[in-house]
Structure 1
Amino acid sequence: MTPDTLPSLLYRLNQNTHAVASAIEEIARWIDQQDPGAMSDVLTRHLQVLADNSEVIADSLAELSVKDAKY
């Protein structure tokens, strides 16, 4: 793996995390429409973990990109 590969890989993994979170949100909405409150609370809590971690991941990727650009 080259030094350029790691930031790209991490960026793609972060994109995948956002895509999975969006899909789960859509499923939670659908479940809520079918049976309000059934599972959406559980899904919402897990989505909050993804959202909380997303900011840290984005900041870390930005920092990594800046460090990578210096070299």
Structure 2
Amino acid sequence: MPHSDLLPSLLYKINENQLALEAAILELSNWVEARGSADVADNVRGALDTIDKNEEVIKLTLAVLMTPE
């Protein structure tokens, strides 16, 4: 298998890891907020918005890369 065929799979797995980290960090921000640090939780959620904003483009690009020619 050529190395170029591995790239889409690698990117897919990296994206999967990113989404898992996003979910874990969101859980932590909820925990922090429940303990009275709403400002910190809001800052964390603001940073996580970037992942959400980019997710659709990443999914579409991966779909194109994984489609056989």
Fold-level match, TM-score > 0.5? Answer: yes
Pairwise CA distance, 1:43: 0.7
Structure 1 residue ranges (4+ consecutive) displaced by more than 6 angstroms after TM superposition: none
Match of residue 46 from structure 1 = 47
Q: TM-score, normalised by structure 2?
A: 0.89
Pairwise CA distance, 1:3: 2.0
Q: Distance in 1 between matches of 2:25 and 2:59?
A: 20
Q: TM-score, normalised by structure 1?
A: 0.87
**Alpha carbon RMSD of aligned pairs, Å?**
1.2
For structure 1, the 5+ residue unaligned runs are none
For structure 2, the 5+ residue unaligned runs are none
Pairwise CA distance, 1:36: 4.5
| Aligned counterparts, 1:14-33, within 5 A | 14-33=15-34
